[in-house]
């Protein structure tokens, strides 16, 4: 008869209850084997009650308290004089005891997974005296396990990897489920594993939980990931057992099981012949279904006619083959190239070599396109030599260039003047012959590096460049001279034959065999009695004294002319003068002073005194210059004071002219008739004394040059006037000319006391003319009012 889950649980409870009752019976039957109990004041007696441990089922769901067991002592006569008490874990809260009968009940649902057993203490007391009639004894209530916990995967979900193409039975990963039930009681914690999803690719060991491959040749390129569902079931997998599941994600890792393959059997690329060296011509790639290191490629050119012209390398990022140029292309020489290129895996797996070769080849054809190229020189560098003595117009050398295109256009030559700024050279535009245009000097510039331009006649934009290095050959055109400016001294106590100076020479020329100089005194200096010269034959010479007794008072400086000849062909010479000063020296021959004037000073006058006298003279000169400057500047100011500044009044007329072209509305002759000579000539740039002079008279001049003559006369007066300022000044002249019908409109002379004009009528013109009436009225006092 097959039991259900509920019936099975009830059956287990009945078995547990039976075992508990059997335990109590054993406790009652074992009283005769109990230890004696000693109580003070009494005779020794036997221990009256003993019990074993009690069992109680967990997860009891009934409404009444669950009966656990019964305590009984032979002292208890059933008359109610004995009471039982319970203490320890869960006493009163979980477990209660009937103090009259000793029956123990559990009042709450128990869970073995929370606490597997409880330790309690029981005691029988006299109800009247409340004294123990039995010694306190300890017992254990064990919670009997039932299958109430399903297996759990504490580490799930799982991820794992296995190489593709693995053989059957290859271990992938181990899964583990745990069951909280008691493993020592029944089959509640005995787990078996099974696979619910993932077949037929994988399997699982029922007892260990190890997942293994179940199919051979699983290909990552076909499917790279699988999701498995693993079940763990307790009760050894029997019906009624509890189960739990977890997921396992299995990824197939890549192996090198796919060879590289070119998508096409041939490729073709067009490139211009002007493409520079190291430029990329093409990129090709072989496809490989593998990934990572298993897809790394190696490319090489295995055959073809462009082995030395092209090379191929691999791009580490894209695994492409990059074809680049190694040499210049020339359409006129070769129009196409064919390359056979092989691609292979860098690291092949020997397990899969039986599948075929792990390499592939393809053909690449490169077509060279013609472009209009600039002229090409026959040599990248033309070294030339020319003597610096060569004449202007002499030929130095020739350069040659040609058009590499099939058209073979004529070439014209020129010199890049940025490389020949001084224009030392010329080139024939047609022949490329280089000639000198100026005299050359090796000492100025020993090597001239110039650039020659060659351009096509039909297409001047195509320009080629050639480089010429012209070395200037040396000739002996520079005379030797002293190597430095020598400061030679001779001591007054020098002895005859003493070396006072060692000299050497330099020459700007550079003879091939090196310099060789010859030293001697000039003919005029050969017979001098003071100094002699010795040629040391090593491009140096020594100056020696011929006598002693040099005196600064007699002669402080000697000039010795020295003749120097080089070894050139023809040889050149020069005369250099060596200046020798006579000095006072100490005992070691070190010059102390070479000042000859120190010996001719008056007695008692020291150098400090001379410096003081010189300072006084300079101070006096400065004072004299200051006094002269102050006197010259102490003059009347050139500009009139504000009160004394007499200026012309500006009179406004409302008479409008007819414009620049109107010559009839106004008589221009009145303006041109201004030729007068002023009798009274006063300088306006020097302040005059204020005088009230009568109106000056004017003399008519029949010429229109009056203004020019007037200015020239003023200029002459300024030039000859000793009181004129020594600087440029602006002089204002109030000369108006003559011939005007209205005569002078100036009021400069209106305030003169000799004026016969009466301005009293201005006071009758109203308040607007009151100021003029006050200024020019008859009352003299109104002049300064």
Binning pLDDT at 50, 70 and 90, where does residue 44 land?
very low
Q: How far is CA 404 from the centre of its chain?
A: 45
Instruction: List Cα–Cα distances, 652 to 81, 656, 672, 702, 762, in angstroms.
Output: 155, 11, 21, 30, 17
Binning pLDDT at 50, 70 and 90, where does residue 704 land?
low
Q: Is the pLDDT of residue 664 over 70?
A: no
pLDDT (average), residues 42-63: 60
The 3-state DSSP class for residue 148 equals coil
Q: What is the pLDDT of residue 343?
A: 94
Cα(128)–Cα(83) distance, rounded to whole angstroms?
Answer: 10
Q: What is the pLDDT of residue 29?
A: 31
Q: What is the pLDDT of residue 601?
A: 44
SS3 content of the chain, % helix, strand, coil (to 5): 15, 30, 55
Q: Is the pLDDT of residue 693 over 50?
A: no
Beta carbons of 209 and 180 less than 8 angstroms apart: no
Percent of the chain with pLDDT over 90: 37
Cα(65)–Cα(247) distance, rounded to whole angstroms?
Answer: 43
Q: Is the pLDDT of residue 350 over 50?
A: yes
Q: Is the pLDDT of residue 778 over 80?
A: no
Q: What is the pLDDT of residue 412?
A: 94
Percent of the chain with pLDDT over 70: 77
Which tokens sit at 77?
Answer: 């006569």
Beta carbons of 109 and 61 less than 8 angstroms apart: yes
Which pLDDT tens digit goes with each residue over 216-252?
A: 989 998 999 999 999 999 888 788 788 899 999 999 9
> Which of 41-50, 283-292, 339-348, 361-370 has the least mean pLDDT?
41-50
Q: Is the pLDDT of residue 784 over 70?
A: no
Q: Quick one: 250 exposed, middle or buried, by C-beta within 10 A (0-12, 13-18, 19+)?
A: buried
Q: What is the pLDDT of residue 247?
A: 94
Whether omega for the bond prior to residue 47 falls within 30 degrees of 0, making it cis, is no
The residues, any chain, with a CB within 8 Å of residue 507's CB and separated by 6 or more, are: 478, 479, 480, 481, 515, 517, 566
Out of 498-512, 598-612, 632-646, give the one with best mean pLDDT.
498-512
Which tokens sit at 176?
Answer: 């583990």
Q: Is the pLDDT of residue 160 over 80?
A: yes
Instruction: List Cα–Cα distances, 118 to 16, 92, 418, in angstroms.
Output: 17, 13, 110
Q: What is the pLDDT of residue 40?
A: 31
Binning pLDDT at 50, 70 and 90, where does residue 28 land?
very low
Q: What is the pLDDT of residue 594?
A: 85
Which pLDDT tens digit goes with each residue over 250-278?
A: 999 999 888 999 999 999 999 998 899 99
pLDDT (average), residues 734-753: 53
Beta carbons of 151 and 206 less than 8 angstroms apart: no
List, in order of start, the domains of the chain with CATH numbers.
53-144 (2.60.40.60), 152-253 (2.60.40.60), 266-369 (2.60.40.60), 376-473 (2.60.40.60), 481-593 (2.60.40.60)
Q: Is the pLDDT of residue 752 over 90?
A: no
Q: Is the pLDDT of residue 365 over 90?
A: yes
Out of 5-9, 12-16, 209-213, 697-701, give the one with best mean pLDDT.
209-213
Which pLDDT tens digit goes with each residue over 454-488?
A: 998 888 888 999 999 999 998 888 899 999 999 89
Higher pLDDT, 6 or 653: 653
Higher pLDDT, 559 or 92: 559
Q: How far apart are the first and last CA of the chain?
A: 156
Task: Tell me phi and psi for residue 417, to 5 degrees.
Answer: -70, -15
Q: Is the pLDDT of residue 137 over 60?
A: yes
Q: What is the pLDDT of residue 709?
A: 78
pLDDT (average), residues 501-512: 88
pTM equals 0.45
Out of 104-113, 423-432, 491-500, 711-720, give the one with best mean pLDDT.
423-432
Cα(299)–Cα(312) distance, rounded to whole angstroms?
Answer: 7
Cα(565)–Cα(182) distance, rounded to whole angstroms?
Answer: 125
- The Cβ-side half-sphere exposure at 400, using a 13 Å CA radius, reads 2
Q: Is the pLDDT of residue 306 over 60?
A: yes
Q: What is the pLDDT of residue 276?
A: 92
Q: Which of 150, 149, 103, 108 is nearest to 122 (CA)?
A: 103
> Which of 75-84, 217-226, 413-422, 500-509 has the least mean pLDDT?
75-84
Which tokens sit at 499?
Answer: 């070396």
Contacts 24+ apart (CB under 8 A), 300-309: 300/341, 300/342, 301/339, 301/340, 301/341, 302/340, 302/341, 302/342, 302/361, 303/339, 303/340, 304/337, 304/338, 304/339, 304/340, 304/364, 305/337, 305/338, 306/337, 306/338, 306/339, 306/366, 307/339, 309/337
According to DSSP, the residues that pair with 503 across neighbouring strands are 541
Q: Which of 104, 45, 96, 103 is nearest to 75 (CA)?
A: 45
Mean pLDDT of the chain: 79
pLDDT (average), residues 272-300: 92
């Amino acid at each position: 008869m097959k039991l259900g889950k509920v019936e099975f649980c009830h059956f287990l409870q009945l078995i547990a209850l039976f075992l508990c009752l059997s335990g109590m019976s054993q406790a009652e039957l074992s009283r005769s084997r109990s230890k004696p109990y000693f109580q003070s004041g009494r005779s020794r007696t036997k221990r009256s009650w003993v019990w074993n441990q009690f069992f109680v089922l967990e997860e009891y769901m009934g409404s009444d308290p669950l009966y656990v067991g019964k305590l009984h002592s032979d002292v208890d006569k059933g008359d109610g004089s004995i009471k039982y008490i319970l203490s320890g874990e869960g006493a009163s809260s979980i477990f209660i005891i009937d103090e009259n009968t000793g029956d123990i009940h559990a009042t709450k649902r128990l869970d073995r997974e929370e606490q597997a057993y409880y330790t309690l203490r029981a005691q029988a007391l006299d109800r009247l005296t409340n004294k123990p009639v039995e010694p306190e004894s300890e017992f254990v209530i064990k919670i009997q396990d039932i299958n109430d916990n399903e297996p759990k995967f504490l580490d799930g979900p799982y991820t794992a990897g296995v190489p593709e193409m693995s053989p059957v039975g290859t271990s992938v990963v181990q899964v583990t489920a745990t069951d909280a039930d008691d493993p020592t009681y029944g089959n509640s914690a005995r787990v078996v594993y099974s696979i619910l999803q993932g077949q037929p690719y994988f399997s699982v060991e029922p007892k260990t939980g190890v997942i293994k491959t179940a199919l051979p040749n699983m290909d990552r390129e076909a499917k790279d990931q699988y999701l498995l569902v693993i079940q763990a079931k307790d009760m050894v997998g029997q019906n009624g057992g509890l189960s739990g599941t977890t997921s396992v994600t299995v990824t197939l890792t890549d192996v090198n099981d796919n060879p590289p393959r070119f998508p096409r059997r041939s490729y073709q690329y067009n490139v211009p012949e002007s493409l520079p060296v190291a430029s990329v011509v093409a990129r090709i790639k072989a496809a490989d279904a593998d990934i990572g290191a298993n897809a790394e490629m190696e490319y090489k050119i295995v055959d073809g006619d462009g082995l030395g012209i092209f090379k191929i390398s691999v791009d580490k990022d894209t695994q492409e083959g990059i074809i680049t140029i190694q040499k210049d292309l020339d359409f006129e020489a070769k129009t196409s190239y064919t390359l056979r290129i092989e691609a292979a895996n860098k690291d092949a797996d020997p397990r899969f070599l039986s599948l075929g070769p792990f390499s592939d080849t393809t053909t690449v054809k490169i077509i060279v396109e013609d472009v209009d190229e600039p002229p090409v020189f026959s040599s990248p560098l033309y070294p030339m030599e020319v003597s610096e003595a060569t004449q202007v117009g002499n030929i130095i050398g020739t350069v040659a260039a040609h058009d590499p295109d099939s058209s073979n256009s004529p070439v014209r030559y020129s010199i890049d003047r940025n490389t020949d700024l001084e224009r030392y050279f010329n080139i024939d535009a047609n022949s490329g012959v280089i000639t000198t245009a100026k005299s050359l000097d090796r000492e100025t510039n020993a090597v001239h590096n110039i650039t020659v331009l060659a351009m096509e006649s039909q297409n001047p934009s195509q320009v080629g460049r050639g480089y010429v290095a012209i070395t200037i050959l040396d000739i002996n055109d520079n005379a030797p001279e002293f190597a430095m400016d020598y400061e030679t001294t001779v001591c007054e106590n020098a002895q005859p034959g003493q070396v006072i100076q060692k000299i050497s020479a330099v020459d700007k020329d550079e003879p091939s065999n090196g310099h060789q100089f010859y030293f001697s005194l000039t003919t005029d200096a050969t017979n001098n009695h003071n100094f002699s010269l010795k040629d040391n034959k090593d491009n140096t010479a020594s100056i020696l004294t011929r006598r002693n007794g040099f005196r600064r008072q007699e002669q402080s400086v000697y000039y010795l002319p020295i003749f120097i000849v080089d070894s050139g062909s023809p040889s050149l010479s020069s005369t250099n003068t060596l200046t020798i000063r006579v000095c006072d020296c100490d005992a070691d021959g070190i010059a102390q002073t070479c000042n000859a004037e120190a010996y001719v000073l008056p007695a008692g006058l020291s150098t400090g005194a001379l410096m003081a006298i010189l300072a006084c003279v300079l101070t006096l000169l400065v004072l004299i210059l200051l006094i002269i400057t102050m006197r010259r500047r102490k003059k009347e100011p050139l500009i009139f004071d504000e009160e004394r500044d007499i200026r012309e009044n500006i009179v406004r007329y409302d008479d409008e002219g007819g414009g620049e072209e109107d010559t009839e509305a106004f008589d221009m002759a009145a303006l041109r008739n201004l030729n007068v000579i002023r009798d009274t000539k006063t300088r306006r740039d020097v302040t005059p004394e204020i005088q009230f002079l009568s109106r000056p008279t004017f003399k008519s001049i029949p010429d229109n040059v009056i203004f020019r003559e007037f200015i020239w006369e003023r200029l002459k007066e300024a030039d000859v006037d000793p009181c004129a300022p020594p600087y440029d000044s602006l002089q204002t002249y109030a000369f108006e000319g003559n011939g005007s019908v209205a005569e002078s409109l100036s009021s400069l002379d209106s305030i003169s006391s000799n004026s016969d004009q009466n301005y009293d009528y201005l006071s009758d013109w109203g308040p607007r003319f009151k100021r003029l009436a006050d200024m020019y009225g008859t009352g003299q006092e109104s002049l300064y009012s």
